[in-house]
Amino acid sequence: MLCAGLVLYALLSSCGKDSDEEAYVPIDEITSLETGLFPDKNTKAVSTTLTFKNLDDIDYLAVRISGGDNYAAKISRSELSSSYVFKYTIRESDPVSFKLILCAYYRDGNKSKDLSLNIDNRWGFFIRKISRIARVTGSATAGESFPSPNNTAVRWNVGGTDLGIVWEMDPGKYGIFFGDTFGRDFVPNQASPGPNGGSWRSNVLAFSNDGDLDDGLAFSSMATDGRGDAREIVYGGKDGSGYGDWTSIPTAAIRANGIDYVHYFNIKNWTGWITNYSGLYKSADNGLTWTKCESVSFTPYSNFGQVGYFKKDGYVYMIGTETGRDSNARLSRFREPDMEDRDRYEYWNGATGQWVVGDEYRATNIISDKVGELSFIYNSRHQKWIIAYFNGDRYNITMRTAADITGPWSEPYELAAGKEYAQLYGSFFHPLSVTGDNLYFLMSMWMPYNVFLMKAELVDMGSLTD
For 362, phi and psi rounded to 5 degrees? -85, -10
Q: Residue 287's closest CA among 200, 159, 377, 170?
A: 170
Contact 35, 102 (CB under 8 A): no
Q: What are 11's strand-pairing partners?
A: none
Pick the last residue of a domain from 77, 102, 121: 121
Pairing of strands 125-135, 450-460: antiparallel
Q: Residue 48's closest CA among 73, 75, 85?
A: 85
Q: Is residue 35 part of a domain?
A: yes
* Residues 130 and 109 placed together within one structural domain of the fold: no
For range 336-361, the mean pLDDT: 97
For range 65-94, the mean pLDDT: 90
* Residues 235 and 267 placed together within one structural domain of the fold: yes
Pairing of strands 115-120, 36-37: parallel
**Considering the entire predicted model, what is its pTM?**
0.86
> How does pLDDT run across 360-380, given as a tens digit for each residue?
999 999 999 999 999 999 999
What's residue 138's pLDDT? 97
* Residues 302 and 344 placed together within one structural domain of the fold: yes
For range 187-210, the mean pLDDT: 93
End-to-end CA distance of the chain, in Å?
17
The one-letter amino acid code at 392 reads G
Pick the last residue of a domain from 103, 121, 139: 121
* Residues 227 and 286 placed together within one structural domain of the fold: yes
Residues in the chain: 466
The pLDDT-based confidence of 12 (bands split at 50, 70, 90) is: very low
pLDDT(102) > 70: yes
- As for how many domains the chain has, the answer is 2
Q: Is residue 466 part of a domain?
A: no
Q: Is residue 345 part of a domain?
A: yes
Pick the last residue of a domain from 121, 155, 170: 121
Q: What are 455's strand-pairing partners?
A: 131, 440
What's residue 70's pLDDT? 73
Q: Residue 265's closest CA among 341, 191, 320?
A: 320
Maximum distance among all Cα pairs of the chain, rounded to whole angstroms: 91
Burial class (CB in 10 A: 0-12, 13-18, 19+), 322: buried
Domain extent for 261: 126-460
For 272, phi and psi rounded to 5 degrees? 90, 0
Q: Residue 316's closest CA among 250, 376, 392?
A: 376
For range 53-67, the mean pLDDT: 91
**What CATH number does the domain containing 456 carry?**
2.115.10.20
* Residues 304 and 249 placed together within one structural domain of the fold: yes
Q: Is residue 239 part of a domain?
A: yes
